[in-house]
């Protein structure tokens, strides 16, 4: 059995403590993102105990990655599903009290992650807006062409 490295007198985060920063309270949660090129796609995820700040930061990072990288292949159809599932998972993270340091725990990070900008203010939202605007334009042009008067 391997023992994780931790400074003397300190232990790594356990159940109920954030795997990133060691704070409590924390919940066990999974956030995922999807990237797609042509017929290929890659799902990647973070799974584990997260405090409110680290969980929100992880959700936003994963959602931004999906909105940047999900459009370019077959997995584009999965984007709404991935985003919706993660948004539902985020609810239990947002119900947590603000993170408090846990005495005696040494984690990877000295403090909770900064949640950063909301998803809609990140580059992924701009890419998603441009893609959706293009789709709407193509549909509108198609309808207009089909509806043009015939000589």
Which residues of this chain interact with Zn ion, rule CB under 5 A? 18, 20-21, 23, 51, 54, 112
Q: How far is the CB of 55 from Zn ion (least distance, A)?
A: 7
Closer Cβ to Zn ion, 23 or 64, answer by number: 23
- The helix-helix angle for 52-69 and 123-146 (nearest 10°) equals 40
Between CA 14 and CA 104 the distance in angstroms is 11
Q: How far is the CB of 110 from Zn ion (least distance, A)?
A: 11
Burial class (CB in 10 A: 0-12, 13-18, 19+), 82: buried
Q: How far is the CB of 20 from Zn ion (least distance, A)?
A: 5
Closer Cβ to Zn ion, 20 or 71, answer by number: 20
Closer Cβ to Zn ion, 54 or 128, answer by number: 54
């Amino acid at each position: 059995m391997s023992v994780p490295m931790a400074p003397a007198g300190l232990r790594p985060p356990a159940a109920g403590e954030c795997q990133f920063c060691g704070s409590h309270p924390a919940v066990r949660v999974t956030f995922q993102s999807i990237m797609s090129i042509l017929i290929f796609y890659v799902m990647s995820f973070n799974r584990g105990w997260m405090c409110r700040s680290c969980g929100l930061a992880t959700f936003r990072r994963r959602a931004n990655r999906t909105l940047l990288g999900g459009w370019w292949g077959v997995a584009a159809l999965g984007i709404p599903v991935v985003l919706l599932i993660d948004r539902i998972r985020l609810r239990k993270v947002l119900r947590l009290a603000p993170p408090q340091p846990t005495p005696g725990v040494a984690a990877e990070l000295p403090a909770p992650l900064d949640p950063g900008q909301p998803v809609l203010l990140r580059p992924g939202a701009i890419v998603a807006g441009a893609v959706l605007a293009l789709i709407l334009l193509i549909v509108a042009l198609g309808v207009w062409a089909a509806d043009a008067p015939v000589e």
